[in-house]
C-alpha cells in the first residue's frame, strides 16, 4: 500500500535538504581526518549527485547521515565544525544574496528568509523579523542523537556568516538551544563566545550590540537586488502550481503538535475567514477535516518508514489525543498497526 510506481518517486513529507548542505557535512568529516567516501557509499551518494544544483535528499536520510558522521568521527559537536567551515556559497543563491547585503543584519535576514530554497521541513521554517536582532530556528522535538547536530549546525552557520562579514569573533550575546544539555557546555560557550542556554525554550541566537548595523565588506547594492529578485523568482517557482489544498497541508504540518489546529487558526494564516476557507476548499472537492486526516496519514507513513521516533512521540507530533487514537487511525489508513508495519518495513530493508 505504501509503494509508489517506479517512475513516480514520492516526495518525503517530512522534508528534504539540498546537497549543498550534504557537501558541507562531508567537508566537516574530512576536516576531522576521516574519509568521506565510506559515508557516501553507505548512503548512496556520489559526485554526480553532489554536483547537481537542484538535487536533494530526504530529511530523515540527512539525519541518519549526520548521526553516522558523528559515530565515525567521535565528535558529538560535529555540528559546530559544520558551522565553522561554512561559507556563504554553501547556502547557494540565498548565501550569495546574503553576502552582498549592505549590513550583517540584512545578510542574516536574507539567509533566513530564503531558507526554503535549500531546505524544507514539515516542522516549520526559521524566522527573523525585519530589523530584528533575534534569529530563531524552529523546534524539531523530540530530540535525540540523530537531530542534535541539525540545531548545532544551523545556529553555528548563522554565527559564522556574521563573523565572516564583520571580521569579528564576538557577534552574538546569547544562544538558546531547545534540547537539554549533553555535557558540552564548555565547548559550546567557547565556540559561540557567549552564554549558551540549553533547555532554553527555543533555538535562537541574539545578536550582540551593534553587530546588526555593521557594513558588509562584500556589499554590492545592484548585485544584491538582482540576487534577491532571483530568490523571489525561485521561491515563486517552488510554490507555483500549489493548490489551496496543498497550501493548507503545508501549513498544517508544523501546527499538529499535541492537538490538531482549529479551522480558525489555519484560516488566519491565509488572511481568510473560516467560512471563506471552507468554501474555497469545497470548490477543490475537499474539506478541512479531510486535509487534517490526509496530512496525518502522509506524515505517519514517513515517520514509521524513515525514522525510529517512538510511536508515542509520533502520536504527539501528529496531534492525537492519545497513542490509542493514533493506533486506531493508523489501522484505518494502512490496515496494519504502526508497530507491526515498522517491523515489516525494517525486515524488508534488511532483507
Q: What is the pLDDT of residues 86-97, one digit of tens each?
A: 999 999 999 999
Q: What is the pLDDT of residues 121-165, one digit of tens each?
A: 999 999 999 999 999 999 999 999 999 999 999 999 999 999 999
Contact between 207 and 194 under an 8 Å Cβ cutoff? The reply is: no
Q: What is the residue-averaged pLDDT of the chain?
A: 93
pLDDT of residue 347: 80
CA–CA dist 265, 162 (Å, integer): 35
Answer yes or no: is pLDDT of 168 > 90.
Answer: yes
| Domain 244-350, second-level architecture | Orthogonal Bundle (1.10)
Position 257 confidence tier, pLDDT thresholds 50, 70, 90 = confident
| Mean pLDDT calculated for residue range 297-304 | 95
Q: What is the pLDDT of residues 231-241, one digit of tens each?
A: 999 988 887 77
CA–CA dist 117, 132 (Å, integer): 22
Answer yes or no: is pLDDT of 1 > 70.
Answer: no
C-alpha cell at 195: 552564554
Contact between 94 and 231 under an 8 Å Cβ cutoff? The reply is: yes
Answer yes or no: is pLDDT of 199 > 70.
Answer: yes
Answer yes or no: is pLDDT of 5 > 50.
Answer: no
Residue 18: strand pairing partners: 56
pLDDT of residue 177: 98
CA–CA dist 224, 165 (Å, integer): 15
Q: What is the pLDDT of residues 55-114, one digit of tens each?
A: 999 999 999 999 999 999 999 999 999 999 999 999 999 999 999 999 999 999 999 999
Position 351 confidence tier, pLDDT thresholds 50, 70, 90 = low
pLDDT of residue 3: 37
Q: What is the pLDDT of residues 22-38, one digit of tens each?
A: 999 999 999 999 999 99
How many other C-beta atoms can be found within 10 angstroms of the C-beta atom of residue 285? 8
Answer yes or no: is pLDDT of 207 > 60.
Answer: yes
Q: What is the residue extent of each domain of the chain? A: 15-235, 244-350
Amino acid at each position: 500500500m505504501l509503494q509508489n510506481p517506479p517512475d513516480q518517486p514520492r516526495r518525503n513529507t517530512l522534508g528534504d535538504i539540498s546537497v549543498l548542505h550534504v557537501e558541507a557535512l562531508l567537508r566537516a568529516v574530512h576536516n576531522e581526518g576521516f574519509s568521506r567516501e565510506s559515508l557516501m557509499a553507505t548512503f548512496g551518494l556520489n559526485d554526480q549527485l553532489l554536483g547537481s544544483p537542484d538535487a536533494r535528499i530526504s530529511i530523515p536520510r540527512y539525519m541518519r547521515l549526520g548521526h553516522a558522521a558523528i559515530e565515525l568521527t567521535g565528535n558529538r559537536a560535529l555540528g559546530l565544525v559544520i558551522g565553522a567551515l561554512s561559507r556563504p556559497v554553501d547556502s547557494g543563491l540565498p548565501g550569495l544574496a546574503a553576502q552582498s547585503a549592505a549590513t550583517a543584519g540584512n545578510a542574516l535576514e536574507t539567509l533566513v528568509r530564503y531558507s526554503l530554497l535549500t531546505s524544507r521541513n514539515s516542522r516549520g521554517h526559521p524566522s527573523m523579523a525585519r530589523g530584528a536582532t533575534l534569529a530563531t530556528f524552529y523546534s524539531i522535538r523530540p530530540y535525540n542523537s540523530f537531530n542534535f547536530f541539525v540545531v548545532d549546525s544551523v545556529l553555528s552557520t548563522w554565527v559564522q556568516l556574521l563573523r565572516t562579514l564583520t571580521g569579528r569573533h564576538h557577534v552574538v550575546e546569547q544562544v538558546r538551544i531547545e534540547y537539554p544539555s549533553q555535557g558540552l557546555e564548555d565547548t559550546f560557550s567557547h565556540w559561540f563566545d557567549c552564554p549558551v542556554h540549553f533547555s532554553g525554550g527555543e533555538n535562537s541566537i541574539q545578536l550582540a550590540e551593534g553587530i546588526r548595523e555593521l557594513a558588509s565588506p562584500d556589499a554590492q547594492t545592484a548585485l544584491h537586488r538582482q540576487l534577491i529578485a532571483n530568490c523571489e523568482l525561485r521561491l515563486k517557482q517552488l510554490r507555483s502550481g500549489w493548490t489551496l489544498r496543498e497550501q493548507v497541508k503545508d501549513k498544517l504540518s508544523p501546527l499538529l503538535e499535541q492537538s490538531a489546529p482549529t479551522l480558525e487558526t489555519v484560516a488566519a494564516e491565509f488572511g481568510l475567514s473560516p467560512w471563506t476557507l471552507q468554501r474555497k476548499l469545497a470548490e477543490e472537492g475537499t474539506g478541512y477535516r479531510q486535509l487534517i486526516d490526509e496530512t496525518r496519514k502522509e506524515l505517519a507513513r514517513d515517520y514509521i518508514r524513515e525514522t525510529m521516533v517512538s510511536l508515542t512521540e509520533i502520536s504527539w507530533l501528529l496531534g492525537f489525543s492519545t497513542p490509542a487514537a493514533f493506533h486506531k487511525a493508523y489501522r484505518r489508513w494502512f490496515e496494519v498497526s504502526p508497530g507491526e508495519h515498522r517491523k515489516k518495513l525494517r525486515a524488508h530493508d534488511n532483507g
